[in-house]
Amino acid sequence: MLETINERPAMPAVPAATGSITSNGGAQKRRAGRPSAAVLDKSGITAAALELVSRKGYEGLTMAALARVLDVAPSALYNHVASKQDVLLLVEDHLMSLVDVSGFGAGSWEDAVRTWAWSYRDVFAEHTPLIPVIAVLPVTDAPQTLAMYETVSKGFSDAGFPRERIVPAIVALESFIFGSAYDVTAPEDIFESGSMADSTPHFTAAVRSSAGQERGRPADTAFSLGLGALVSGLGALRTT
Amino acid sequence: MLETINERPAMPAVPAATGSITSNGGAQKRRAGRPSAAVLDKSGITAAALELVSRKGYEGLTMAALARVLDVAPSALYNHVASKQDVLLLVEDHLMSLVDVSGFGAGSWEDAVRTWAWSYRDVFAEHTPLIPVIAVLPVTDAPQTLAMYETVSKGFSDAGFPRERIVPAIVALESFIFGSAYDVTAPEDIFESGSMADSTPHFTAAVRSSAGQERGRPADTAFSLGLGALVSGLGALRTT
DNA sequence: CCACTAAATGAATGCCGTTCATTTAGTAGA
DNA sequence: TCTACTAAATGAACGGCATTCATTTAGTGG
């Protein structure tokens, strides 16, 4: 019965951004002698990178293309970011503000986790090239990411999780979410065994059988199944 | 009590390879006029790529470097593979033969899944750049991968899984495994919130608390926790 | 010995991220 | 108003990358 309590939440998985790209957080200290009309700043670079990605995908996100969008020479970008990796970090942190954490503090812990997990997966399914970046990104450099973790941690704590289990539980859920985000991008026929079908009878039968019965995308079925297992398994760790 | 039944299996996670790199499966049809002493073939390219990766990592795996290892001009590689992506595919499929599926058919379904999952994660934790490749790789082109799926599918089927649930269950486990493989590569201090610690009290407390109590790598704790939840949750789908 | 062919060659191409000496243009203080 | 200072933009260059292609090399069946 896992799937019946684990349907996708009805709320939009990707609600309006809570963190808009307006400024770089006041970190920029205006000092003597500085020209007032800087063409570039981190928030502008972030916005341009996001627009470029949505139009051309991540292969289209090059420093040259980014500079062209901003009507600037490629080398000018290096006055504001240290590397292309830095640009990816900016984008990644912004995306974290799109993840829906509104369920924490509102309803049950289970519902909150499900809403969070679905929207988290949906956001990064569109941005899988950033997933390797996240794995290496120290949260210090990523205020929006840190804000998300704070909200989620509080939600777990309030739900009765022992403090020392909170981080491992979140990490386990995130691992599942990132892997599932890749899964969304897989071609539909990825499991067609083709000419070797004869030598893999069990697998071929399983593939055919699941393909027949599916409502919606295969990736959604697997995500729903795994998320249900994780929510009930991890939920059992609560002490209250 | 999840963790007590979910300890890492005592068996070596990465046993001796069952599939050695010896030939290209007899796919090469010798025809009239062909010179007998070809310097290159797919298995040789795979072995060289693997050696290169283990010595220099994936940044070191370039077509030029690969050609140098094989004592050949870079362009010569293109007589045997269509692209660098093709090389990655060859490597990826070989790695699948290193995943330990010996538990299926031997002990309980739970133990078999745990052994498989730990070794699967361990193999790809050393090869995270291949994870995006797997997501797009049709199994047709990957005989070792297909062989693994066949063994695992049979294991699930014999354990009493309804046919239509087998593929989604495997996909859910794999998603968790891939995400967890990234987690292994994360720096230890990735969650140090640094100067922003004051504004994230719950998260900071959770991080400190888990860091204190950990036996072994943090990634292992999270993997153990999530795997336990998945195994018990998915195991409940069995009908016998 | 010839005709054929798989395979290796090496030069060239185009794109990439990045560097750096130089120029531009605004501002604060005299 | 002039001068000194500085952040930011410039454009040419660099080295590395995957990939292409006309050409050469060297075995083999007829």
User: Which residue type, as a one-letter code, is found at position B69?
Assistant: V
pLDDT, residue B215, reads: 84
pLDDT band at residue B232 using 50, 70 and 90 as cut-offs: very high
Percent with pLDDT over 90 in chain A: 76
- Report whether pLDDT(B131) > 60: yes
The CATH class of the B2-14+100-235 domain is: mainly alpha
pLDDT, residue B110, reads: 98
Domain spans of chain B?
2-14+100-235, 42-95
Among A4, A58, A140, most B C-beta atoms within 10 A, so best to mutate, is A140
pLDDT, residue B41, reads: 85
Greater model confidence, A15 or B62: B62
* Of B152, B172, B225, Cβ closest to residue A168: B225
Please report residues of A whose CB lies closer than 8 A to that of B195: 140
What is A77-92 written as a DSSP string? GGGT-SSHHHHHHHHH
pLDDT band at residue B21 using 50, 70 and 90 as cut-offs: very low
pLDDT band at residue B10 using 50, 70 and 90 as cut-offs: low
Q: Judge whether residue A36 contacts strand D, using its CB and a 7 Å cut-off.
A: no
Mean pLDDT across the stretch B78-107?
A: 96
pLDDT, residue A195, reads: 84
- Check A136 against B186: CB less than 8 A apart: yes
* Of A131, A167, A223, Cβ closest to residue B182: A131
Chain A, 188-207: which have a CB under 8 Å from a chain B CB?
A: 189-196, 199-203, 205-207
Specify the 3-state DSSP secondary structure of A103: coil
Query: How many Cβ atoms from other residues are within 10 Å of residue B224's Cβ?
Result: 21
Tell me how close the Cα of A98 comes to any Cα of chain B, in angstroms: 19
Q: Judge whether residue B163 contacts strand C, using its CB and a 7 Å cut-off.
A: no
Q: Judge whether residue B62 contacts strand D, using its CB and a 7 Å cut-off.
A: yes
- Report whether pLDDT(A23) > 50: no
Please report residues of A whose CB lies closer than 8 A to that of B191: 139, 149, 167
Q: Which residue is nearest to nucleotide C27 (CA to C1')?
A: A33
pLDDT band at residue B195 using 50, 70 and 90 as cut-offs: confident
Specify the 3-state DSSP secondary structure of A26: coil
The CATH class of the A2-17+100-235 domain is: mainly alpha
* Of B2, B134, B213, Cβ closest to residue A164: B213
* Contact (CB, 8 A) for B119 and B175: no
Mean pLDDT across the stretch B103-116?
A: 97
pLDDT, residue A37, reads: 54
Greater model confidence, A8 or A106: A106
pLDDT band at residue B13 using 50, 70 and 90 as cut-offs: very low
- Check A164 against B207: CB less than 8 A apart: no
- CATH number for the domain running over A42-95: 1.10.10.60
pLDDT, residue A106, reads: 93
Q: Which of B16-20, B61-65, B214-218 holds the top average pLDDT?
A: B61-65
Q: What is the mean pLDDT of chain A?
A: 87
Per-residue pLDDT tens over the stretch A130-176: 999 998 899 998 999 999 999 999 999 999 999 999 999 999 999 99
